[in-house]
Structure 1
Amino acid sequence: MVTHTLTTGQSGEVVEKVTLARNRFASLDRIVKIHKHPVARGPVLDGFAVLLSALEVWLRISPQTQTYSIVLSGVACAAVMFRRRWPFLVFLVTVPGYFAGAAQIAGMIALGTLARRKQWMWQTMVAGGLAWTCAYVQWPLDRFFNLSWRAHIFNGIYGILYAGLPIALGLLMALRVELSDRLAALAASKEREQALHEQTIRAAERASLAREMHDVVSHQVTLIAMQAGALVVSAQDDESREAANTIRQLSKRTLDELRDLVGVLRSGAVDDDVHPGLEELPQLLRNAEVPVTMVEQEVPDPVPQAVSRAAYRTVQEALTNINKHAHGAHATIRMFPCGSALIVEVVNDRPAKEPAGAVSLPSGGHGLMGVRERTVLLGGTFHAGHTPEGGFRLCVTYPIEN
């Protein structure tokens, strides 16, 4: 039996060979990791686009190619490096190389990037028309005019493919990014709704516990204190009178502690985490993903913490629903006191028409239910419904006095 001892370097080589033997796509995995790297992804893709465009030019040029054609093609290939920053300008720079040169791939890459960034805006329409023209019209022009009618038809069809495929790919990539963003927003909204629903359940349990403590325990302790007081008066000896007085004092102290505990349970001050209130409302409006206007904001001072948190959650949930179900609609917020109550009203106008291909996302329905349950627990009123103009109105009233 023969044994061999491997050094550190040899063992590393053996491990690498075994890994490559087990995974024939290990090198492809490295490329995928580089592609997903947030810093290296952009330069790597830009460099690959430039190399691919230059390879096409190098393969298509011949000794008979004019110098200006080579120069225009080289400029088009170099301009691809800046397609992310100035997509429409870069496409215009690639048009001469696309038309009179050999840089068709450079023009198609620039057109796809423009469609991804601008989607169906006028820049994409103009660029699509120019791409079709470059693919249909032959250079030099005398060769184009000598083509037969069949060749003109084929060139027109090829022009549609050359212009349509990059635009379709760009729009598909833009739709994929938009769908990912909206799914991420939906997941975050689901988590927030679930957290609010759990907080509402905990608040209901605390309110039930507070009622039981107030109606049952406090009543029993009050009876004990009353009986101890009567015993103090009717006791014949000092020892019994002192014991009864001690029971009466302990009962009164227990009642005071029960009142404090019931107040804490009903105020919701035993939440597990810190919740934002009306003082964080300006930051919420600044970070909102919908256009919003605060028409009226008059908040009395002081406002109970439970009401402050509930009002904040009401505005937050309303803005979330507008972003999900009325994307692009404008929101108007009014917050003002009315007697001994604070009124919070959020109204959005009729949403804009959804663009073609837009994804309609589902809703769990827990958001407004959590707002309504929190409002009922605080003794307020809740109203939500559509407006005659086609929008939606959420109006909640919270009592601000005990």
Structure 2
Amino acid sequence: MTAGEKTTARKKVPAWAVDTALVALAAFDVWWNLEDSADASVLVLVAGALASGALFLRRRLPLTTFALTLPACLVLDLQVVSAVALYTLAERSRDRRLLAACAIASAAASSVPWPRSDVAQVHETWVLVYFGYLLAVAAAPVLLGQLVQAHRDLSVRLDEIEEAREHERQLHAEAVVARERAQLAREMHDVVAHQVSLIAVRAGALQVVAPDSDTQEAARTIRSLSVGTLDELRHMVTLLRASTDAGTELTPQPTLADLRRLVADSAIQATLTGELPADITTTAQRTVYRTVQEALTNVRKHAPGATAAVQLFHHEHEFGVMVTNTKATRPPLPLPGSHQGLIGLTERAELLHGSFTAGPLSDGGYRVRLEIPTDAEAPFTRGTEPNRPDRE
């Protein structure tokens, strides 16, 4: 059962039903103490009713709820309201100094004799002993609340780790397919295309020296088919090499139009500003998209809780994108990183005669910047092979 399923199972009991039951139990505790109290004044009744009713606010205002229970704990020997208020505050607050102060305040309010005229009749040593006992009792709901909070945080972290690992597995599968396609493209270019080129050359030579018209026509047909096949092979090699920059599915390649959806579905708090020229090549669009995708993935993996800003820009001689994130608010996930993503982005930028930089900021954040010249043209569009190392 996943953390989400466990949370759903816990929420089968409505929150209002739980709060109503706790208020009823707290009211019974107040009534029980009023039966044993010789001084059931209007002030005591109001304090008890206020403390019981305040439990309805415990989910939204836990600190206020605790403060409203203190007067009742001062005049009555209550157990339910103080325990519930401390547990709720500990389950929702991460300030341990505040929790310690509230536990001490609760123990002090319950250990001080009431009415004040009874203070002189109680020995100071007994008051201190009683305070220590109540402080230990108050620590129990605080520790329980912190334990529940840690369990909830752990469930969220496990979900994040599983999501990140699934993403890593998907990237690995895509990398394997990309290597296979690159290998296939090399074989087609180096072997098949070379052989077809030789066939076309030999057919052309035969067409020139053929003794009869039938042989010349056959040679011409062979040469024509060979040239057509060679063009198709070159086109297929281009597509295979271009597909190594994409996913494993036969889906349309991402463009600038897909950026907004990418940012919205990034599972982090991210914004997209600026714009790029509409006439940039599809390779440049894909490079910008992959840069943003890799940057947001790294933010999700290495800076949990951080916010990101994706800024598109273009000037007279260059255009590009800059992704900046704040520092992490939680410890990063314990996942390995090979830095191959940043290496791949650097290679993409070099293919377009651009530059790619990435590095930490002084405030603990991180910045990724891609710059591409406005007159950049992908090697594929020039009909030449890309001068880049194969990434095995």
Which category of TM-score, normalised to the shorter sequence, fits these structures? Answer: 0.7 to 0.9
Tell me the CA shift for residue 160 of structure 1: 2.5
Tell me the CA shift for residue 307 of structure 1: 4.5
2:295 is aligned with 1:318: yes
- The separation in 2 between residues aligned to 1:386 and 1:34, in whole angstroms, is 37
- The separation in 1 between residues aligned to 2:317 and 2:204, in whole angstroms, is 39
TM-aligned CA distance change 1:370 to 1:193, over 3 Å: farther
Residue aligning to 1:25: none
TM-aligned CA distance change 1:83 to 1:309, over 3 Å: farther
Residue aligning to 2:35: 62
Tell me the CA shift for residue 314 of structure 1: 3.0
Q: Given the two structures, how large is their TM-score scaled by the length of structure 1?
A: 0.74
Residue aligning to 1:131: 106
TM-aligned CA distance change 1:215 to 1:64, over 3 Å: closer
TM-aligned CA distance change 1:130 to 1:287, over 3 Å: farther
Render the CA deviation track for 1:335-394: whole Å, top value 9, x for unaligned: 446899764444556x47x7xxx655312215x323423653675465544457765444
Question: How many aligned residue pairs are there?
Answer: 364
2:23 is aligned with 1:45: no
Tell me the CA shift for residue 191 of structure 1: 1.5
Residue aligning to 2:341: 370
Q: Is the 8 A contact 2:324 2:366 kept in 1?
A: yes
Among 333, 349, 352, the alignment partner of 1:361 is 333
For residue 242 of structure 2, what is the amino acid of its counterpart? S
Q: Is the 8 A contact 2:91 2:149 kept in 1?
A: yes
TM-aligned CA distance change 1:344 to 1:52, over 3 Å: same
For residue 370 of structure 1, what is the amino acid of its counterpart? G
Q: Is the 8 A contact 1:333 1:346 kept in 2?
A: yes
> Among the aligned pairs, what percent are the same residue?
34
2:271 is aligned with 1:271: no
Among 223, 226, 237, the alignment partner of 1:248 is 223
Q: Is the 8 A contact 1:76 1:103 kept in 2?
A: no
Q: Is the 8 A contact 1:53 1:105 kept in 2?
A: yes
- The separation in 2 between residues aligned to 1:164 and 1:336, in whole angstroms, is 55
- The separation in 2 between residues aligned to 1:237 and 1:96, in whole angstroms, is 116
For residue 50 of structure 1, what is the amino acid of its counterpart? V
Q: Is the 8 A contact 2:91 2:145 kept in 1?
A: yes
TM-aligned CA distance change 1:59 to 1:281, over 3 Å: same
- The separation in 2 between residues aligned to 1:207 and 1:97, in whole angstroms, is 75
Q: Is the 8 A contact 1:313 1:371 kept in 2?
A: no
2:123 is aligned with 1:151: no
* RMSD after superposition: 3.8
Tell me the CA shift for residue 127 of structure 1: 4.0
- The separation in 1 between residues aligned to 2:173 and 2:345, in whole angstroms, is 11
- The separation in 1 between residues aligned to 2:356 and 2:305, in whole angstroms, is 25
Render the CA deviation track for 1:264-307: whole Å, top value 9, x for unaligned: 2122168316575543434554566766676x845333445554
Unaligned runs of 5+ residues in structure 1 are 1-31
- The separation in 1 between residues aligned to 2:340 and 2:6, in whole angstroms, is 43
Residue aligning to 1:299: 276
Tell me the CA shift for residue 33 of structure 1: 8.9
Q: Is the 8 A contact 1:135 1:162 kept in 2?
A: no
- The separation in 1 between residues aligned to 2:35 and 2:247, in whole angstroms, is 80
Among 114, 133, 147, the alignment partner of 2:89 is 114
Q: Is the 8 A contact 1:136 1:159 kept in 2?
A: yes
Tell me the CA shift for residue 98 of structure 1: 2.4
- The separation in 1 between residues aligned to 2:316 and 2:242, in whole angstroms, is 21
Tell me the CA shift for residue 263 of structure 1: 2.0
For residue 312 of structure 1, what is the amino acid of its counterpart? Y
- The separation in 1 between residues aligned to 2:177 and 2:343, in whole angstroms, is 15
For residue 301 of structure 1, give the secondary structure of its aligned residue in structure 2: coil
Residue aligning to 1:179: 154
Q: Given the two structures, how large is their TM-score scaled by the length of structure 2?
A: 0.76
- The separation in 2 between residues aligned to 1:219 and 1:63, in whole angstroms, is 102
Q: Is the 8 A contact 1:224 1:248 kept in 2?
A: yes
TM-aligned CA distance change 1:376 to 1:34, over 3 Å: closer
Alignment of 1:274-293 (within 5 A): 274=251, 277-285=255-263
- The separation in 1 between residues aligned to 2:307 and 2:7, in whole angstroms, is 41
For residue 62 of structure 1, give the secondary structure of its aligned residue in structure 2: helix
Tell me the CA shift for residue 180 of structure 1: 1.9
Among 185, 193, 197, the alignment partner of 2:168 is 193
